[in-house]
Structure 1
Amino acid sequence: MTQPTPTKPVLLTVDDDPGVSRSVARDLRRRYGADHRIVRAESGADALEALRELTLRGEPVAAILADYRMPGMNGIEFLEQAMDVAPHARRALLTAYADTDAAIQAINVVDVDHYLLKPWDPPEEKLYPVVDALIETWRAVGQRPVDEIRVVGHRWSAECFSARDFLARNSVPYRYHSTDEPEGARLLEVAGASEDDVPVIITTDGGVLRNPTDAEIAQAVGLTVDPVADFYDLIVIGGGPAGLGSAVYGASEGLRTVLVERQATGGQAGQSSRIENYLGFPDGVSGSQLTDRARRQAAKFGAEVLTARDVVALEARGSARVVRFGDGSEIAAHAVVLATGVAYRSLDAPGVAELTGRGVFYGSAATEAPACAGQDVYIVGGANSAGQAAVFFSRHAATVTVLVRGPDLEASMSHYLIKQLDAIDNVVVRTGTEVAEACGDGHLERLVLSDRTTGEKQTVTAGAMFVFIGAAPRTEWLDGVVVRDARGFVPTGPDLVTGGAPPPGWSLDRDPYHLESSVPGVFVAGDVRSESVKRVASAVGEGAMAVTLVHRYLAEQ
Structure 2
Amino acid sequence: MGEGGEPQKAVLLTVDDDPSVSRAVARDLRRRYGREFRVVRAGSGGEGLEVLRELKLRGQRVAAVLADYRMPEMSGIEFLEAAMDLFPRARRALLTAYADTDAAIAAINVVDVDHYLLKPWDPPEEKLYPVVDAMLEAYRETPDTPAAETKVIGNRWSVPSFEVRDFLARNAVPYRWFTDDEPEAARLLKAAGVDTDELPIVITSAGATLVAPSAAELADAVGLSTTPATDFYDLVVVGGGPAGLGAAVYGASEGLRTLLVERRATGGQAGQSSRIENYLGFPDGVSGAQLTDRARRQAVKFGTEIITSCDVVGLRAEGPARVITFGDGREVAAHTVIIATGVSYRELEAPGVAELTGRGVFYGSAMTEAADCADEDVYLVGGANSAGQAAVYFARHAPSVTLVVRGESLEASMSHYLIEQLRGLDNVRVRLRTRVAGAFGDQGLERLCLADAEGRSEEVSAGHLFVFIGARPHTDWLEGVLQRDEHGFVRTGPDLLTEGRRPSGWRPDRDPWLLESSLPGVFVAGDVRSESVKRVASAVGEGAMAVTLVHRYLGAS
TM-score (norm 2): 0.74
Classify the secondary structure of the residue corresponding to 2:227.
coil
- 1:442-461 alignment runs, 5 A limit: 442-452=443-453, 454-461=454-461
Q: Which amino acid aligns with 1:525?
A: A
Q: Which amino acid aligns with 2:488?
A: G
Match of 1:12 in 2: none
Match of 1:281 in 2: 282
Q: What is the alpha-carbon distance in structure 2 between the residues aligned to residue 377 and residue 261 of structure 1?
A: 30
Classify the secondary structure of the residue corresponding to 1:438.
strand
- Residues 378 and 464 of structure 2 are in contact (CA less than 8 Å); yes or no, is this contact kept in structure 1? yes
Q: Does 2:462 correspond to 1:468? A: no
1:475-524 C-alpha deviation (Å, 9 max, x unpaired)? 00001111111110001000001111111111111110000000000000
Classify the secondary structure of the residue corresponding to 1:532.
coil
Q: What is the alpha-carbon distance in structure 2 between the residues aligned to residue 344 and residue 283 of structure 1?
A: 27
Q: Which amino acid aligns with 1:273?
A: S
Match of 1:546 in 2: 546
Classify the secondary structure of the residue corresponding to 2:480.
coil
**How many correspondences in the alignment?**
416
Superposed displacement of residue 180, structure 1: 1.1
CA 1:437–1:202: 2 relative to 1, 3 Å: same
Match of 1:74 in 2: none
Classify the secondary structure of the residue corresponding to 1:416.
helix
Q: What is the alpha-carbon distance in structure 2 between the residues aligned to residue 368 and residue 354 of structure 1?
A: 18
Q: What is the alpha-carbon distance in structure 2 between the residues aligned to residue 147 and residue 554 of structure 1?
A: 47
Q: What is the alpha-carbon distance in structure 1 between the residues aligned to residue 525 and residue 191 of structure 2?
A: 48
Superposed displacement of residue 196, structure 1: 2.4
Classify the secondary structure of the residue corresponding to 2:388.
helix
Match of 1:488 in 2: 488
Q: Does 2:518 correspond to 1:518? A: yes
CA 1:497–1:188: 2 relative to 1, 3 Å: same
Match of 2:251 in 1: 250
Moved over 2 A (4+): none
Q: What is the alpha-carbon distance in structure 1 between the residues aligned to residue 469 and residue 483 of structure 2?
A: 26
Q: What is the alpha-carbon distance in structure 2 between the residues aligned to residue 296 and residue 186 of structure 1?
A: 36
Match of 2:155 in 1: 154
Superposed displacement of residue 374, structure 1: 1.6
- 1:99-114 alignment runs, 5 A limit: none
Match of 1:416 in 2: 417
Larger-gyration structure (1/2): 2
1:229-286 C-alpha deviation (Å, 9 max, x unpaired)? 1100000000000000000000000000010000000000001010000011111011
Q: What is the alpha-carbon distance in structure 1 between the residues aligned to residue 387 and residue 353 of structure 2?
A: 18
Q: Which amino acid aligns with 1:443?
A: G
Superposed displacement of residue 369, structure 1: 0.2
Classify the secondary structure of the residue corresponding to 2:188.
helix
- 1:217-256 alignment runs, 5 A limit: 217-256=218-257
Once superposed, what is the RMSD of the aligned Cα atoms?
Answer: 1.5
Match of 2:506 in 1: 506
Q: What is the alpha-carbon distance in structure 2 between the residues aligned to residue 266 and residue 436 of structure 1?
A: 31
1:144-193 C-alpha deviation (Å, 9 max, x unpaired)? x8830000000111110000000001110000111111111222222222
Q: Which amino acid aligns with 2:521?
A: G
Q: What is the alpha-carbon distance in structure 2 between the residues aligned to residue 428 and residue 270 of structure 1?
A: 25
Superposed displacement of residue 540, structure 1: 0.2
Q: Which amino acid aligns with 2:268?
A: G
Match of 1:478 in 2: 478
Q: Which amino acid aligns with 1:171?
A: A
Match of 1:528 in 2: 528
Further displaced range: 341-350 or 501-510: 501-510
1:326-354 C-alpha deviation (Å, 9 max, x unpaired)? 11001000000000000100000000000
Classify the secondary structure of the residue corresponding to 1:166.
helix
Match of 1:343 in 2: 344
Q: What is the alpha-carbon distance in structure 1 between the residues aligned to residue 536 and residue 430 of structure 2?
A: 25
Q: What is the alpha-carbon distance in structure 2 between the residues aligned to residue 438 and residue 417 of structure 1?
A: 28
Classify the secondary structure of the residue corresponding to 1:491.
coil
1:378-427 C-alpha deviation (Å, 9 max, x unpaired)? 01000000000000000000100000000110000000000000000000
Classify the secondary structure of the residue corresponding to 2:378.
strand
- Structure 1: segments with no counterpart, 5+ residues: 8-144
CA 1:146–1:305: 2 relative to 1, 3 Å: farther
Classify the secondary structure of the residue corresponding to 1:369.
helix
Match of 1:407 in 2: 408
Q: What is the alpha-carbon distance in structure 1 between the residues aligned to residue 204 and residue 292 of structure 2?
A: 25
Q: Which amino acid aligns with 1:507?
A: R
Q: What is the alpha-carbon distance in structure 1 between the residues aligned to residue 333 and residue 412 of structure 2?
A: 43
Q: Does 2:383 correspond to 1:382? A: yes
1:352-377 C-alpha deviation (Å, 9 max, x unpaired)? 00000000000000000000002100
Q: Which amino acid aligns with 1:495?
A: D
Q: Which amino acid aligns with 1:433?
A: T
Q: Which amino acid aligns with 1:306?
A: I
CA 1:220–1:278: 2 relative to 1, 3 Å: same
- Structure 2: segments with no counterpart, 5+ residues: 7-145
Superposed displacement of residue 308, structure 1: 0.8
Q: What is the alpha-carbon distance in structure 2 between the residues aligned to residue 505 and residue 186 of structure 1?
A: 64
- Residues 147 and 176 of structure 2 are in contact (CA less than 8 Å); yes or no, is this contact kept in structure 1? no
CA 1:317–1:146: 2 relative to 1, 3 Å: farther
Further displaced range: 501-510 or 360-369: 501-510
Match of 2:167 in 1: 166
Q: What is the alpha-carbon distance in structure 2 between the residues aligned to residue 406 and residue 6 of structure 1?
A: 52
Further displaced range: 498-507 or 426-435: 498-507
